[in-house]
Structure 1
Amino acid sequence: MSDIAIEFRGVVKRYGSATAVAGIDLSIAKGELVTFLGPSGCGKTTSLRLIAGLELPSEGQVFIAGRDVSRAPASERNVGMVFQSYALFPHMSVLENVAYGPAIRGTRRSEAHARALEILDQVGLAGLQDRLPAELSGGQQQRVAVARAIVQQPDVILFDEPLSNVDAKLRRKVREEIRALQRRFGLTAVYVTHDQEEALAVSDRIVVMDRGTIAQVGTPADLYERPETPFIADFIGDANLIEGEVLKGQFSAPGIHLDIGGQSGKATLSIRPERILLSRGGSDHVLSATYLGSRMEYVIAAQAGEILVSRSIAEPRFQVGESVSLVISSKDAFRVA
């Protein structure tokens, strides 16, 4: 039996003359949580809808659990979905919301309720089954939505911007709950978000999309620490993109010289702000210093241009106008062009 839960083979989706998804190939393993990430209009939500059966491909094939579902309607795909708005029935109790799916598929009411109560207990909502959605917190409503999707034992569960309606302070807790539930139930999950931090926090792998194509696929660490293009480096977190030239393995830009190896020629390096150290004295100087609670962010006027530096609040602080030197290690610089 194959370990692949979802597969895209040359999938294209067009809307008239506009191409939303431009020929993607991707495999997602059973039990994996994969996030589609990218700017507005990149094709991430369309890709999710192609899995759900809410859209059909213009070209190519979509497989779920080894079955070609390219032309199958949503009702025949055994896919659970958690919407942005949760889409809970406001007039139904928590129990009735969760039992609704099995009930409309012909499961006896008593059996559907028993299954729903079991799932509610597993997602930490035991004792709340008689409440209406309006009587729950945002995080609890999110768990009801997840329970309603899980109870039908889907091959795949889809999360469409699931934290967009959650208060900023609750997002960390709710995303941790989603990740814990996904692992506990061994769910194959596809998650769509535009929030880079959210994607880094919940994913086994991230698919970064750009203008309908896959720009890079990898683990959160791969994408953050080893971006392959300037787009990935700039989109995932903050990055300093420094242009220069490589000659005999030595990268040179004004005031920066690093041994990076590789082919000679023009090059662009990506260096994360937190990987740069500052020392007092030198030819560069501090343009701005911003206090952000757990860290300080500095913009440094350097010979190579303006450089963003992030340092722990526990480290010695620098003042605007102070002369400094940048300390960059070759191991923290990645060639992206």
Structure 2
Amino acid sequence: MTEEIAIEFANVTKRYGSAVAVDAITLSIAKGELVTFLGPSGCGKTTSLRLIAGLELPTSGVVQIAGRDVSQRAASERNVGMVFQSYALFPHMNVLENVSYGPMIRGVAKAKARAHAYEILEQIGLKGLDMRLPSELSGGQQQRVAVARAIVQQPDVLLFDEPLSNVDAKLRRKVRGEIRELQKRFGLTAVYVTHDQEEALAVSDRIVVMQAGRIAQIGTPRDLYERPASSFVADFIGDANLISGQVTAGRFRAADLDVPLAGPDGAAQISLRPERIILSAGEGAPSGRVRSCTYLGSHWEYEIETGFAELLASRPMSEAPIAPGTAVTLTIPETAPIRVTDI
């Protein structure tokens, strides 16, 4: 069975004068998929979202939605819903009025628009709140109203622009879970923009990591975390220790670090995740010394001085802390080192 493509970028570039915001990107997003654009400020992720929405038009290349070329079509000519970081709810309208407003201005009869809005509000967990004003709702409830207002118009694509930036940290985990559950329940094709790595890992089917207007890597959350294609991706997705050394006959060496590593001989850089480094007190090889030990509730975090790099390592709370100044032996599982760069 052929996978139905909902969004397609073909060699899309967006320039502002001499500045290139999006640089010749090609990408397909399947129907019913949630794809996140992730990257640092200025990487092109928000511009990519705006190109889908029709808020920006490409300088060159083709943008297709549901098989139609929309490259030069205005936002009003695209069947796209958008959830803004500010929610953009009408403060003088109650929940029902906010949700039914879109269909009504498109010519749907008031009674029919409100009946559909009631149905969506019930499905989205807002039954009984239809007469409340946005100011009478929690941040999470306002977010759901914004999603309901977008869903009621039955868009081909639903876009999320930093949707949790105005939600406090304690509520963020709950709301991102609700967004993911709603996306799956309604079978929505969704594109999500965030700079928060944990948020991207939690909600996405696939993540598009952007770097300087280009796609650095596309993959599932697990692919990107466990098999980053470059030092940039390894360092941006979670915590990573980047170590430079030499590969000879399938072994990577840097000072007293000696681990198996596939690939060609020569200078290389590897990534080691902090949780993959096993620490034990006492001298050994490779060796290090604890510079700091920090209590983070769910685990201990260590800064380790070694002859080849300053490492970040972690241990579960079930293990006793190792005091600063203690000599330690580092055990590196064979599958832990990931080759990220040939230097």
TM category (shorter chain) comes to over 0.9
Can you list the C-alpha shifts for 1:172-218, whole angstroms capped at 9, x where unaligned?
00000000000000000000000000000000000000000000000
Residues 64-213 of structure 1 correspond to what in structure 2 (within 5 A)?
Answer: 64-213=65-214
Aligned residue number for residue 262 of structure 1: 263
- Is 1:291 aligned to residue 295 of structure 2? yes
Q: Give 1:260 shift.
A: 1.3
User: In 2, distance between residues paired with 1:304 and 1:329?
Assistant: 17
Q: Is the partner of 1:118 in helix, strand or coil?
A: helix
Q: Which of residues 311, 319, 328 is equivalent to 2:323?
A: 319
What is the CA distance between 1:2 and its match in structure 2? Answer: 6.0
Match for residue 310 of structure 1? 314
Show CA shifts across 1:120-144 (max 9, x none). 0000000000000000000000000
Q: Given the alignment, which residue of 323, 329, 335 partners 1:331? A: 335
Deviations 1:208-249 (A, max 9, x none): 000000000000000011101000000111000011000011
Deviations along 1:3-59, whole A, 9 cap, x unmatched? 000000000000011000000000000000000000000000000000000000000
Task: Find out whether 1:246 has 2:247 as its counterpart.
Answer: yes
Q: Distance in 1 between matches of 2:161 and 2:63?
A: 18
Contact 1:2 1:66 in 2 (8 A): no
Q: Secondary structure at the match of 1:330?
A: coil
| C-alpha distance in 2 between matches for 1:273 and 1:2 | 38
CA distance in 2, matches of 1:32, 1:261: 34
Structure 1 residue 80: Cα displacement: 0.3
2:45 corresponds to: 44
SS of alignment partner, residue 237 of structure 1: coil
- Alignment correspondent of 1:224: 225
Partner of residue 300 from structure 1, selected from 296, 301, 304: 304
* C-alpha distance in structure 1 between counterparts of 2:233 and 2:94, whole Å: 44
The 1:252/1:25 distance shift into structure 2, 3 A limit, reads same
CA spacing shift, 1:2–1:331, aligned 2, 3 Å:
closer
Query: Which residue identity lines up with residue 170 of structure 2 in the other structure?
Result: K
| Percent of residue pairs bearing the same amino acid type | 69
Give the root-mean-square deviation of aligned CA atoms.
0.8
Equivalent runs, 1:266-281 vs 2, <5 Å: 266-281=267-282
For 1:28, the equivalent position in structure 2 comes to 29
2 CA distance for matches of 1:98 and 1:155? 18
Give the residue type in structure 1 aligned to 2:333: S
- Secondary structure of 1:331's match? coil
Offset, 1:333: 0.8
The one-letter amino acid paired with 1:312 is P
Assess if the C-alpha contact under 8 Å between 1:123 and 1:147 holds in 2: yes
Distance 1:251 1:285 in 2: 21
Answer whether contact 1:5 1:155 (CA < 8 A) is retained: yes
In structure 1, list runs of 5 or more residues that go unmatched. Answer: none
How far is 1:335 from its partner? 0.1
Residue 258 of structure 2 aligns with an amino acid whose one-letter code is H
Contact in 2 for aligned 1:89/1:97 (Cα 8 Å)? yes
Cα distance in 1 for residues equivalent to 2:159 and 2:216: 21
Return the alpha-carbon distance in structure 2 between the equivalents of residues 284 and 120 of structure 1: 57
Instruction: Tell me what 2:237 maps to.
Output: 236
Report the alpha carbon displacement of residue 316 of structure 1 after superposing the two structures with TM: 2.2
How many pairs are equivalent? Answer: 337
Question: Which amino acid letter does the alignment assign opposite residue 220 of structure 2?
Answer: T
Q: Counterpart of 1:129 in 2: which secondary structure?
A: coil
Indicate conservation of the 8 Å contact 1:224/1:233, yes or no: yes
C-alpha separation in 1, matches of 2:26 and 2:108: 37
Equivalent position amino acid for 2:80 in 1: V
TM-score by length of 1: 0.99
1:8 aligns to what? 9
The CA distance in 1 between the partners of 2:262 and 2:49, in whole Å, is: 40
